[in-house]
Structures are given as structure tokens and as C-alpha cells.
Chain A
Amino acid sequence: MSARQADLKSALLAEVAKCRACRFCVDVCPTYQVSAGVEALSSYGRIQIIKHLLMGVLELDEGLTYALYTCLQCRRCENVCKSKGQNIEICEVIHNARAFLAPNYQKGGGRDS
């Protein structure tokens, strides 16, 4: 892992650690709203997926890839997070996680291959 990747990982873990699991962001997430209550397809679910991927508890598979790349980056969850006083940059976290994981999906890279 490069120094830049290591910095990105630390920053991501610090940001996701701020989540107090209040779940107020879940109901406003459009992908959750149309997915029959699958929490992995909500902003909170994605935060937990990222946390556990970074900690090595989960491995990147088909379902987790789907959850991460279906985020619309619409920031509606952040409005709620802010109003509840936590103010986590949820879409920034998901974007940075995509950037961190991008080598898995690019030719010649691949921590999962």
C-alpha cells in the first residue's frame, strides 16, 4: 500500500468512526427507498461496509461492490446527519472509498484478483 493509500485509509477510518449509528440517514436514501428495506443499500449500510472492508472483516465481493457503486452521491443523507449534529461527510467517505478501492477494478491492479 502506498503512503497516499495509507493516509486515505486512516482518514476514512477516522471519519466512519464518527458514526453513532442513529440511522436517521437510512430512510432518506433513494436506493434504500426503492430496495425493500435492504440496509446495505442505504448510506448507513455503506458506511458500515466501508468500515468493515478497511478493517479486513469483510472482503470485496459482488454484493459489496453493488452497494458501493449504487450510491448516487446525492448528499441527502448528509442533510440529515448534519441536522442530528454529527455532520459526517457521508458521500465524501463513499467517494474516497471508491478511490481507495479503484485499483481493484482497474486493469493491472487488483487486491482481489
Chain B
Amino acid sequence: MIPKSRNLVRELFSLMAQNLAAGGDPLGFRQAYWTGWAEGLNLPRQGEALLFTARMYQMLPYVTQTTKLVDRTRSLLSRPALATLAKAGNLLAGEKILRHLAGREQEIEKRGRNALRGIAAALALVSGPPAYLYEKEPYSGVLLHDLGLEDVVKAHAEKVARVLHEAGSSRIMATDPHTVYMLGQIMPGYIPGFKAQVQHYTEVLAREPQRLAQAMGPMPLEEVVVHDSCQMARDLGLVSQVREVVQALGLRAKEPEHCGRDTACCGGPIEFAYAELSDRISRMRAADLSDQCKNVVVTCPICLINLAKHEQEFGLRVWDLGELLNAGLNRPLAD
């Protein structure tokens, strides 16, 4: 049976636009929840090269809980009158509730934090300590763009462009492919004249594999199967870079049946509204990957949470590449 969708989409659009205005991202929190991973790293606030997380890894525990809430309240959100009640009851939009529930997602929070610390350490090794904007760092707006909410995104894109202009960095090293795509290929369409030299961090690391290899400590595994994110492989054309970094870590890279430009999706992009369908797609991909190797490496936070849902069922461990960098450079694994 096809799930009722019209009112669900309408309510989610309204909620996301409201949250973007309130907190600058789809969660809408007023307190900066995205800077904790950088504690103790003393990254400079300004510099030629900017490390840009766009809050993506930091959102993971909240995204997991928000998705569960949307799924639980789907029947309410599908009906106009009840949707208002659901929202008024803070079932969806309550910051305190979400923060409390996200506290249960300690494992994914730890993985996201370790991934960012590993990426920062690796970038510092090959190109010097990157700058980080801490509480000023904006979300890119990519999810709202994907949904076609162009008027909402335009206003947000102007804020993002202003923050990046004020930061004054000449290049941006983003930690996820969705942000690279948004800043590099989509933002100029919203902001005429906007031009940013933006790269995925693997592009920077792949230029210095020997330096990375020399500094790398022992890895907790010997081989991995590479899951290419759709955006990395098809939108950005980044396929070899992750493999070069994996090799520099001293690991053997295995390939699933569908890889590179023919990669298969993790199901993540529709998780916000259609968790059940998304889950079937991520399960199918996790099964394909597990045929090759029980250790999977990803370079996108969306792929990380979606494939990690099936770890138990297939005996998998899904590693973000940043976690492996962290294990090799900041050993022992930082908690």
C-alpha cells in the first residue's frame, strides 16, 4: 500500500523551513551542538584552508531520533488536523526532547566525533592545521535544495555565502560529499558570483599518500570493501581518491559488484520521510557489501548511519574513513 504523502510532505516542508530559520539547519536548535568534536584541538578560527563540516556528522544522533519520531507520528502527520496537534505536542520539533533522545545514540555520536577528529588530524598532517569556524559554522542547506524548496534555500544560501566570505579562507575542505556538491555546484545558481574552491577532504589527502602512510599507526583491520557514495562517485567524480587513502592506511581495498560510477545507493536521502522504504534499500546494499567483506568503509555521514543500521544482521562493521584516520593518527581511538 502506498503511504499517504501529501500532508506528510507539507508538514515536513513547513517544519524544516521553520527550523532552518530558527537554528540554521533542519534541526532548528538554538544552542550550538556541533562544536564539541573539536574540543581540545585548538584549531585556528581563521586560515587559508577551512575545514567545513556543515554540521553533518554532528547531526547524526539527532537525525536518527528525528527519523524514528517521524515514523512513529506518520499517521498523525498524514492527516491535516492531527498534524497540527502532533507539532503542538512537541512530538517532532521539541529541542529538549530531541536532545534527550539523542543521548541514547552514544555509539553513532562517538563515531561521528572520531571521524571528524581523524579527518582534522590527517588534514593537519598533509597541509597544516585547518581553520574551523566553531559556532559560526553554517549548514549548507542541501536537504532543502534536494526537496526543491528553492525560495527557502535562497535566503539561507545568502547567509552561508556571507559567513564564508567573512571567514576569508581561499579554499574549503568539506568533510562530506553533499556539502562539496552544494557549495561547489549548486550555490552559484542561488548566489550569482559565488565561487568557492571546495574539495572533499579525500582529494587533499590523496595528493600526499606517502606522508599519510609514514605517520599511520597500526589499523584495527586488514581489508575493507569500499562503498562509494552516489554523490561522491556520480556528482563529483571522486572514485580513486578514497582508494588511494585506504591504501595509504595499509589496508586492502575490495570492490563490491556495484562500485565507482555504478555504485548503489544507501537509501539515506529519503530517510527523513520514508524510513521504511529507505531501510529496505540500505539493507539491500548492506547485503551486497557483506558478500565481499565484513568491514565496510564509507566517506559520507549519511551512508554511515544508513548502512550501520544493518551491522548486526549481516555481521558488518561500517567504518567512516575518518574513524580509520583517527585510529591511525590519534591512537588509541579517542572516546
Interface of A toward B, CB cutoff 8 Å: 30-31, 33-35, 60-63, 65-66, 69-76, 78-79, 95-102, 105-107, 112
7 closest A-B pairs by beta carbon, nearest first, are A98-B148, A99-B148, A74-B265, A65-B5, A34-B280, A74-B230, A66-B5
B234 with A74: CB separation less than 8 A: yes
Answer yes or no: B9 CB below 8 A from chain A CBs: yes
Number of A-B contacts (CB under 8 A): 98
Q: How far, in angstroms, from A34 to B267 measured CA to CA in the complex?
A: 11
Is the contact region of chain A dominated by helix, strand, or loop, or is it mixed? helix
- Please report the C-alpha to C-alpha distance between residue A107 and residue B151 in the assembled complex, in whole angstroms: 13
**Chain B contacts with A in 1-54, Cβ cutoff 8 A:** 2-6, 9-10, 13-14, 17
Choice from B6, B150, B151 contacting A65 with Cβ under 8 Å? B6
Interface size on B, residues (CB 8 A): 35
Interface contact B264-A72, CB-CB below 8 Å: no
- Is B270 an interface residue, CB under 8 A from the partner? yes
A67 to chain B: closest residue by CB: B2
Choice from B6, B262, B267 contacting A76 with Cβ under 8 Å: B262
Q: Are B234 and A79 in contact (CB under 8 A)?
A: yes
A79 partner residues in chain B, CB cutoff 8 A: 234, 261-262
Chain A neighbourhood of B285, CB < 8 A:
30
* B205 CB to nearest chain A CB (Å): 25
Contacts A72-B269, A76-B230; A62 near B150 (Cβ below 8 A): no
Whole-angstrom distance between the Cβ of A12 and the nearest chain B Cβ: 12
- Among the listed B3, B235, B261, which residue makes an inter-chain contact with A66, where contact means beta carbons less than 8 Å apart? B3
Within the assembled complex, what's the spacing in Å between the Cα atoms of A94 and B86? 30
Contacts of B269 in A (CB 8 A): 72-74
Closest partner residue, chain B, to A64 (CB atom) = B5
Asked whether B274 is an interface residue with its Cβ less than 8 Å from the other chain, the reply is: yes
Q: Within the complex, what minimum Cβ distance (angstroms) separates B92 from chain A?
A: 16
Q: How far is the CB of A70 from chain B (nearest CB, A)?
A: 5
Interfacial chain B residues near A76, Cβ < 8 Å: 230, 234, 262-265
B287–chain A nearest beta-carbon distance, Å? 11
Please, how many angstroms separate the alpha-carbon atoms of A31 and B269 in the complex? 12
CB distance from B179 to the nearest CB of A (A): 15
Chain A residue numbers with a CB within 8 Å of B270 are 31, 69-72
B284 near A: Cβ within 8 Å?
yes
Task: Pick from A30, A75, A98, A105: contact of B6, CB below 8 A.
Answer: A105
Whether B13 lies near A102 (C-beta < 8 A) is yes
Q: A72-B267, A74-B230, A106-B13 are in contact. Are A30 and B284 (CB under 8 A)?
A: yes
Interface status of B281 (Cβ within 8 A of chain A):
yes
State whether the Cβ of B149 lies closer than 8 Å to any Cβ in chain A: yes
Query: Which residues of chain B come closer than 8 Å to A99, judged between CB atoms?
Result: 148-150
CA of A61 to CA of B277, assembled, Å: 19
* CB of B158 closer than 8 Å to a CB of A: no
A98 to B230 CA separation, bound complex (whole angstroms):
20
CA separation between A106 and B148, bound complex, in Å? 11
Task: Enumerate chain A residues within 8 angstroms of B17, measured Cβ to Cβ.
Answer: 106
List residues of chain A with CB within 8 A of the CB of B150.
99, 102
- CB contacts (< 8 Å) of B182 on chain A: these are none
What are 20 inter-chain pairs, A to B, with CB distance below 8 A? A30-B265, A60-B6, A61-B6, A63-B2, A65-B5, A65-B9, A66-B2, A69-B9, A69-B273, A69-B274, A72-B267, A74-B265, A75-B230, A75-B234, A97-B148, A100-B148, A101-B148, A102-B147, A106-B10, A106-B17
